[in-house]
Structure 1
Amino acid sequence: MSVYDLTGRKALVTGGARGLGAGMAEALARAGAAVVIGDVQEELGKATADALRESGATAGFVSLDVTEDASWESAVSQTIAELGGLDIVVNNAGVEISGLVVDLDPADVRRMLEVNVLGTALGVKHAFRAMRPDGPAGSGGAVVNISSVAATIPFPGIAGYAATKSAVDRLTRVAALESGKLGYGVRVNCVYPGLVPTDMGAKLAADMVTLGLWPSAEAAVGDVIGLTPLGRLGEVADMADAVVFLASDGARFITGAGLPVDGGMGM
């Protein structure tokens, strides 16, 4: 059996209704895991779970606002009840609001802090409580947090977003250390995705024009590609396969690490 085979594993993916999250849920299912999608977008999330089931996967949906402690408690409890356990949590839910530092909007920064930092922190909290030896799942597991290449390079127009994704990196490392020292049996790693042409990626390129940083979205994307040694944008599958790796036994001796999946942009 391949070390990347996730047959028998149970996973919860936040922000899994669309974009990168949907791709990650699909890749985990393709590797054999049973998957629950957690999202605030109920109609879309249910449709994504339905599509996974139609492909032969075991999949479900739970309503989850990652910024609310009680919502996390309910979502994890429902996931364990539906799947019979929990081995993998992917903290993918995130928001990006562009803006120049000189025009910084406190409400925008607070929103990114709540979703990107608090949401991820609560995800780690409830993963630990479920997976540690005295938890309702109790068999250890893997947490994969989604940071960003923005945490590793300076890029104009996204100071608040970059700050929150840098925080995800630090949170990952501290959580991994605590899990190890306290014997939870949960590995914690993060991924730094490069720019992917999802809805969020397309909006980011358009925002760069609105902020006066590039003359066109095409020029902004072209410059990103120019900064990328592999010479292309990322694809959803690139990011999803990295998550599968970190969740699998192929990464069994990896914790507290950040994996760049950016074509070399952040090196």
Structure 2
Amino acid sequence: MHVLLIEDDDRVAGPLMEGLSRFGFTVEHARTGADGLAAAEAEMVLLDLGLPDMDGIDVCRTLRLRSQVPIIMISARNDEVDRVLGLELGADDYLSKPFGVRELVARIRAVFRRAGPAVAEPVAALPASRDCHPVPVARAQQIGPLTLDRRGRRVRLQQTFIALSPKEFDLLAYLADDPGAVRTRQQILDAVWEPNYFGPTKTLDVHVAALRRKLGDPAWIDNIRGVGFRLMPPAGGASASQGEEHIEGGDR
């Protein structure tokens, strides 16, 4: 895996690069936010918040506007406000210094497992021929005015596409697996983050709040107090069709 490390302190970057290389990672090192933004796109970004030229939060925001690359923030800042803001802006995980290389590798692998399936899927089906029917190339789920394309990891509300972070998409897709069904907080954390997740549960609330805001109506995600959350179209919206529409490819 090609990892981009954006870290200005060589005393931190050196051991990290050496440790990650022992686990088979290829690491590119950028010492400033500008260098990190100018670097070739990587498969994973490790982003320090305390950069000399710009705040790492701004780097995260810029990266997320142009790419869905997984981002893990690494910082000596341990304040909850920084963690919440970073996650809300699209970071996939937040690791406070000091930490061990093994823990970082485990988090990289966990984040990449969650983001990886979309990368691994084929980008297109074989074209149809005269002797066969068109080949289905994707399935999109329709929930009222919301369209969820898992294969392309795209979300459309009415006719407008919504930009989601990888974790926001995974959360929405999990709730959409059974619209109207209540998922407990632990079920969501185990499925969207990792089994037996033991990190701050505030992470889930932050991502739910971000999804509600991007969907334009908090009623999309209902909070069942003391239990968990469920996904439902807001009352008064377009008719809720919870089936799937088939997008078929063929000769054009």
- TM-score scaled to structure 1, two decimals? 0.36
Return the structure number with greater relative CO, CA threshold 8 A, min gap 6. Answer: 1
Larger radius of gyration: 2
Structure with the larger strand share = 2
Structure with the larger helix share = 1
- TM-score scaled to structure 2, two decimals? 0.38
